[in-house]
């Protein structure tokens, strides 16, 4: 439990807004909780499967400026490219858009007495973070993503 002290659990409930309806996800439900626990670290499990979040400015990628691709730490799906990453000042990796329109599923999140849009991996349903309408051009979107939900592959590797 001590390893999880830096995480804040954010249970989310809601309904699908865009692509990635839970019933349509390719891998969702394929792995049991026990299988997820075997392949993810306890911290990754808390974020990806239990909808937690890491503390700001503590993740591996919030200040990463290398060129490459960000994959889902759960299933390896391509999610974001470094060309769309920007410094939002929030302490989490932030992107203006996913690599493909259907790479990230968005769902309504009404937890913590507020309305937000949750970002999930469209392939495995893993919780990534949230989407906010305060990002820079060209999309105006800020995909605020937990480093624990990502794996970075440096360009050229």
Residues annotated as catalytic are: 144
HSE-CB at 65 with a 13 A cutoff on CA atoms is 2
From the list 88, 15, 93, 81, the residue with the least C-alpha distance to 53 is: 93
Q: Tokens at residue 64, please? A: 């990463």
């Amino acid at each position: 439990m001590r390893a999880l002290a830096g995480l804040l659990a954010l249970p989310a409930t809601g309904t699908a807004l865009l692509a990635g309806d839970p019933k349509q996800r390719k891998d969702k439900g394929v792995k049991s909780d026990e299988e997820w626990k075997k392949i993810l670290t306890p911290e990754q499990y808390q974020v990806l499967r239990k909808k937690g979040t890491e503390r700001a400015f503590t993740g591996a990628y919030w200040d990463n400026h290398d060129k490459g691709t960000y994959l889902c730490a759960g299933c390896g799906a391509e999610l974001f490219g470094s060309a769309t990453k920007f410094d939002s000042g929030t302490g989490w990796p932030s992107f203006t858009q996913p690599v493909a329109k259907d790479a990230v599923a968005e769902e309504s999140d009404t937890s913590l007495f507020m309305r937000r849009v949750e970002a999930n991996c469209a392939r495995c349903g893993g919780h990534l973070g949230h989407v906010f309408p305060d990002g820079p051009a060209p999309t105006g979107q800020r995909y605020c993503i937990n480093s624990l939900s990502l794996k970075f592959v440096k360009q050229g590797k």
